[in-house]
Amino acid sequence: MLTQLSINNYALINHLSIDFSSGLSIITGETGAGKSILLGALGLVLGNRADLSSLKDTSKKCIVEAKVAIANYHLEEFFKDSDLDYESETIIRREILPSGKSRAFVNDTPVTLSILNALRTKLIDVHSQHQTMELSDTAFQFEILDALANNKDRIASYKRGYLQLNSLKRELEDLEKQQQLANQQYDYNLHLFNELEEAKIIEDEQEILEDSLDKLNNIEEIKENLSESLAISINEDIGIQSLLHSLEHKLHKIASYSKEYQVLAERVTSAKIEIDDIVTELEDANEHIEFDPNEAEKVNDRLQLLYNLQKKHSVSNNKELLEVLAVLSDKVAQVTSAEETLNTKKAEIHAVAEKMDVLADKITTARKAAIPVLKKELENLLADLGMENARFSIEIKQTIIYFYNGKDELKFLFSANKGGNFGELKKVASGGELSRIMLAVKKVLSENTQLPTIIFDEIDTGVSGEVSNKIAAIMQQLSKNMQVIAITHLPQIAAKGNSHYKVFKAEENGITTTNLKQLSKEERVVEIAEMLSGKDISESAVTHAKELLS
């Protein structure tokens, strides 16, 4: 609950610090005294947008600080997820600098406005007349019904499935788009793939074929030089083999005379062995060398095929052609295996949807069971608030559509008059009626959920007499489960508060300022008497005020 609010340099407020207690707190004051300024400051510290117009003195910064006791709100997980230090009495601070820059802190840790707004929904609900339009919002109507249906855990589980289902559907949609594009290119890709596959490309084949073709195209020159090389090698008189044989013989004669001659002889022997091998290979090459025009044509055709494929695919060698083949293989396989991939994804979606269907059925069943209870509670409360003929028509219909909170469509209709037609709340209920309906709704919610502190900003506008007493009674009942702060102009409601605060204007050095103070018992009598009879307080007004307070 809100335990303290401190405001410095905001609008008409120089400095203000006020403590709040549990139960029902009342705030009163003349029109224009600054009640809206208080709410503005509270909204600021809870994440509302701000600008320099919020500063009373534009040369100094504005600071609004709220202390909230959160031990009973189970917010440890929220603080952990938001990377904040958890304190049972948390301090929220908002600063607006003269430059216009705004900063926010939770327990002295800087936070973004999005985190501040998320925290606000768990702490304080500020309700004013214009917010009664929420009653016509389907999401809010589901919130009311689900509170009575105790659907919190079911819907939390359903929402996890809902997020997963949408994610899987997006994945399926992407796969289908890829498949559609792949199908459009499939025939062409298959043709290219088959063309390369049939070519049976080998990575180093091109170099081998180019060497072979070069050999075939120069066969006469090769044969002539091989023949001459053999002649040089094997001529009996001047051939290399004959001369080396003679050299070897001469050196072996003197090898025994010196180590040096022995080494020379051995080296010549080695050279002779190598030359003999070369001659053998020359004879073999010369014997098998012959020009085959068919072979030359075959090699040339194969090379031309490779060159054409490389040009077609804008590559320079067989290695790159094989890489193109691998890519084409993947593209073709993607199409041929796409049906299996799509079916797998559809099966995943179906499995998640089945689990969601089970949860959705449980949610629907709980809602249907809660409808008569909700109708009865609201209608009884509204009867106490002077709307004896108020009736609700609430219908649930399950659809095949997966909504964020189940599969139901909700009709939440209202009739204020006996025999009147049911219609949407915003169309058939007046402003005063909407305020009382909202009060009844908050009463129901407070008994079925852990509502945060609630602030009613003149929700009693348009009512008086006995109805105002009933409103006060409901606020008192609300305050047993939560902290209630009510800004009111009705003495019947003001008298029911556990604490009473007055907003008033004063002059300081010729400058008007807004102030807030907690009233003593005697001051409360005067304030309520003034609310009853105006500035000129009569004795009867004082007596009436004391009666109301007692």
- Kindly report, residue by residue over 407-426, the tens digit of the pLDDT: 999 999 999 888 888 998 88
In a domain, 292, yes or no: yes
Phi and psi torsions of 219, nearest 5°: -65, -40
pLDDT at 521: 92
In a domain, 443, yes or no: no
Percent of the chain scoring above 90 in pLDDT: 40
Closest CA to 489 of 466, 509, 464, 512: 464
Instruction: Please say if the pLDDT value at position 131 is more than 70.
Output: no
| pLDDT band at 129; cut points 50, 70, 90 | low
- Average pLDDT of the residues of the chain: 88
If DSSP codes are grouped into helix, strand and coil, which group holds residue 104? strand
Taking CA atoms, 469 is separated from 460, 495, 496, 547, in Å, by: 10, 10, 9, 13
Q: Do 398 and 362 touch, CB atoms closer than 8 A?
A: no
Phi and psi torsions of 114, nearest 5°: -65, -40
Higher local confidence (pLDDT), 457 or 352: 352
Domain with residue 56: its CATH number is: 3.40.50.300
In a domain, 345, yes or no: no
Instruction: Please say if the pLDDT value at position 544 is more than 80.
Output: yes
In a domain, 488, yes or no: yes
What's the count of helices (H) and strands (E) in the chain, helices before strands? 18, 15
In a domain, 400, yes or no: no
Same domain as 332, residue 215: yes
Strand partners, 207: none
| pLDDT band at 432; cut points 50, 70, 90 | confident
Same domain as 93, residue 207: no
pLDDT at 189: 79
Closest CA to 291 of 216, 222, 227, 225: 216
Closest CA to 473 of 548, 371, 361: 548
d(CA 23, CA 480): 6
pLDDT at 242: 85
pLDDT at 528: 93
Higher local confidence (pLDDT), 66 or 329: 66
487-529 pLDDT, tens digit per residue, is 998 999 999 999 999 999 888 777 888 899 999 999 999 999 9
Tokens of 513: 């300022």
pLDDT at 510: 79
Average pLDDT over residues 230-254: 85
Number of domains in the chain: 2
Q: Which amino acid is at 169?
A: K
Q: How many CB atoms lie within 10 A of CB 266?
A: 14
| pLDDT band at 130; cut points 50, 70, 90 | low
Angle at 232 between CA 228 and CA 236, to 5 degrees: 125
Same domain as 332, residue 204: yes
In a domain, 412, yes or no: no
Q: Do 34 and 13 touch, CB atoms closer than 8 A?
A: yes
Same domain as 214, residue 312: yes
pLDDT at 282: 87
Phi and psi torsions of 534, nearest 5°: 95, -170
Q: Which of 336, 365, 398 is the last residue of a domain?
A: 336
d(CA 506, CA 15): 13
pLDDT at 33: 79
Average pLDDT over residues 380-394: 91
27-66 pLDDT, tens digit per residue, is 998 887 788 888 889 989 998 887 777 788 888 899 999 9
Q: Which of 336, 370, 391 is the last residue of a domain?
A: 336
Tell me which of 240-254, 297-311, 448-462 is least confident: 448-462
166-200 pLDDT, tens digit per residue, is 999 999 999 888 777 777 777 787 888 888 888 89
Q: Which of 318, 336, 354 is the last residue of a domain?
A: 336
Tell me which of 47-56, 240-249, 479-488 is least confident: 47-56
Angle at 475 between CA 472 and CA 478, to 5 degrees: 155
Instruction: Please say if the pLDDT value at position 304 is more than 80.
Output: yes
pLDDT at 206: 84
Read out DSSP for 45-101? HTT----GGGBSSTTS-EEEEEEEE-TTS--HHHHHHTT----SEEEEEEEE-TTS-
Phi and psi torsions of 453, nearest 5°: -55, 135
Same domain as 327, residue 205: yes
Residues of the domain holding 494: 1-111+457-519
In a domain, 86, yes or no: yes
Same domain as 230, residue 104: no
Strand partners, 486: 26, 456
135-161 pLDDT, tens digit per residue, is 888 999 999 999 999 999 999 999 999
Q: Lay out the sheet containing 89-96: strands in order across.
A: 13-19, 2-10, 62-69, 89-96, 102-106, 109-110
Tokens of 479: 């305050």
Query: Which residues, including other chains, have CB under 8 Å from residue 283's CB and lie 6 or more apart?
Result: 230
Same domain as 210, residue 98: no
Q: Return the C-alpha torsion angle 529, 531, 532, 536, nearest 10.
A: 70
pLDDT at 413: 93
Note the Cα 366 to chain centre separation in Å. Answer: 30
In a domain, 462, yes or no: yes
Query: Which residues, including other chains, have CB under 8 Å from residue 138's CB and lie 6 or more apart?
Result: 410, 412
Tokens of 515: 């102030």
d(CA 440, CA 417): 18
